[in-house]
Amino acid sequence: MTSSNIQNILLTGGAGYIGSHTAVALSQTGHRIFIFDNFCNSDRGAVKRIEAIIGRPIVVIEGDLRDTALLTQTLQTHQINAVVHFAGLKAVGESNRIPVEYYANNVQGTISLLQAMQKADNHPKTFVFSSSATVYGDPKYLPIDEAHPLAATNPYGRTKHHIEEILGDLAKSDPAWRIACLRYFNPVGAHDSGLIGENPNGIPNNLMPFVAQVAVGKLAQLSVYGDDYDTPDGTGVRDYIHVMDLAEGHVAALNYLTTHDGFHVFNLGTGRGYSVLEMVKAFEAASGKSVPYKIVPRRAGDIATSYASVAYATAELNWHAKRNLKDMCESGWKFQHMTAKSS
Ligand code: NAD
Ligand code: WQD
């Protein structure tokens, strides 16, 4: 990276799981990073640990996305050139219970952020958005490419779809905008240091944090949601991607936007799937711990198989996932027993 490419980048939700790893990757590429977070699903300890990894202090602005004035002031004060927008609520089940809060936080929060970008004197117009494979809904074909129809099946997924539409309209209205929507598949694992990783509050909704907490002895056993799917071993198959590969995908997307204006959508996955039982076995091998499980009925809303076509991201972003399943499990285990267990 040449010094002319170095940017001041605001990471909304930068203290969270994916944001913290991306903060490390961007910082180590030479960018100056700034974190805006209300800590509703993270804490300042994560920022301290990012600082320990990168070896320098980070400017943190504590605030809510819906505070347009604070965002405008932040963008101006720090002469922000690009925004990577992670902040949002992300639990599918919760979104069915409190949909209005999901639309308010995710959609209204994004509108507030875009209004701040329009108001700020320096007018930053480079934007990377954390979208999700959940926008596709039930797969009509596999692998899922970016042209697959969008039919999210829950309010959380629909907030992501709405935001993508807003961003598409914005890019059409003003060709100076440079926008990338990154549709993540299933991010897992942690930074090699074991200092940052995924540490959800309460009982984890997602498979791998649950598996890690069983391995470390925090939870007694995993419930496997169904073994009667049309998959090789009957359990659900997903495209798990190492969170550091995902983080590097953001570096690649920002780099791409330096030479491409307009609105772009990329899948970020590995292009291959693993079943629940394969994940359990791999985690047992990485941790040396046993992960007891029982088969229970299917979880409502789950699908059999999901994995990405990564051809477009590979060709356009010059990026692909480099780390394998062993790397995902070993790093996830290191974080679980070194950092998450005690916090
Ligand atoms: P996370 O909850 O760990 O991080 C989100 C961060 O945003 C947290 O630090 C939280 O405090 C902050 N935040 C939430 N609402 C805010 C608000 N109104 N104002 C300021 N800060 C706010 O989640 P994550 O796993 O790191 O996910 C990051 C993004 O990626 C989210 O938008 C999520 O929907 C998306 N995503 C996540 C996954 C996944 O499996 N983890 C998959 C696809 C997409
Ligand atoms: C993976 C597999 C489960 C937990 C979710 C969101 C999606 C995205 C990523 C944000 C499935 C099985 C799980 C458990 C199990 N997030 N499982 N026991 O459902 O693919 O995607 O997270 O955008 O929007 O929907 O991920 O980790 O919950 O499940 O057997 O205790 O593990 O049935 O087959 P999912 P997951």
Instruction: Give the C-alpha separation, 183 to 226, whole Å.
Output: 26
Q: Which residue has the tokens 């599918």?
A: 92
The overall pTM is greater than 0.85 = yes
* pLDDT at residue 154 tops 50: yes
* pLDDT at residue 3 tops 90: no
* CA of 89 relative to ligand 1 center, distance in Å: 6
Atom of ligand 1 nearest to the CA of 90: 34
Query: Which of 324, 143, 298 has the alpha carbon at shortest distance from 230?
Result: 298
Higher pLDDT, 1 or 341: 341
* pLDDT at residue 2 tops 60: no
pLDDT tier at 342 (50, 70, 90 boundaries)?
A: very low
Atom 4 (ligand 2): residue with closest C-alpha? 207
Atom 7 (ligand 2): residue with closest C-alpha? 134
* CA of 231 relative to ligand 1 center, distance in Å: 30
What pLDDT sits at residue 6? 84
Q: In this structure, what token pair is assigned to residue 19?
A: 């944001």
Query: Which of 99, 101, 105, 90 has the alpha carbon at shortest distance from 17?
Result: 90
Region 89-104: mean pLDDT is 97
**Enzyme catalytic residues:** 156
CATH 3.40.50.850 fits 8-188+241-269+309-322, yes or no: no
Torsion of CA 158, 161, 167, 172, to 10 degrees: -130
pLDDT tier at 343 (50, 70, 90 boundaries)?
A: very low
* pLDDT at residue 47 tops 70: yes
* pLDDT at residue 60 tops 90: yes
Mean pLDDT of the chain: 96
* pLDDT at residue 234 tops 60: yes
Instruction: Give the C-alpha separation, 11 to 37, whole Å.
Output: 8
* CA of 342 relative to ligand 2 center, distance in Å: 25
* CA of 75 relative to ligand 2 center, distance in Å: 35
What pLDDT sits at residue 341? 73
Return the ligand number nearest the Cα of 229: 2
Instruction: Give the C-alpha separation, 202 to 191, whole Å.
Output: 22
Ligand 2 pocket check: which of 129, 225, 240, 306 to mutate, most ligand atoms within 8 Å of Cβ? 225
User: Which residue blocks in 4-86 are alpha helix, DSSP H?
Assistant: 17-28, 44-54, 68-77
Where exactly are the structural domains of the chain?
8-188+241-269+309-322
Q: Which residue has the tokens 């009982």?
A: 203
Instruction: Give the C-alpha separation, 85 to 83, whole Å.
Output: 6
* pLDDT at residue 1 tops 70: no
Region 186-211: mean pLDDT is 96
Segment 133-144, tens digit of pLDDT? 999 999 999 999
171-188 b/e (C-beta count within 10 Å ≥ 16 → b) = beeeeebbbbbbbbbbbb
What pLDDT sits at residue 163? 99
Instruction: Give the C-alpha separation, 186 to 203, whole Å.
Output: 18
Q: Per DSSP, what are the bridge partners of residue 248?
A: none
Region 247-262: mean pLDDT is 98
Q: In this structure, what token pair is assigned to residue 284?
A: 């047992």
Region 81-106: mean pLDDT is 97
Instruction: Give the C-alpha separation, 91 to 75, whole Å.
Output: 29
Peptide bond into 143 cis (omega under 30): yes
Atom 44 (ligand 1): residue with closest C-alpha? 132
Atom of ligand 1 nearest to the CA of 63: 20
What pLDDT sits at residue 336? 96
DSSP-assigned letters across all residues of 168-232: HHHHHH-TT-EEEEEEE-EEE---TTSSS----SSS-SSHHHHHHHHHTTSSS-EEEE-S-SSST
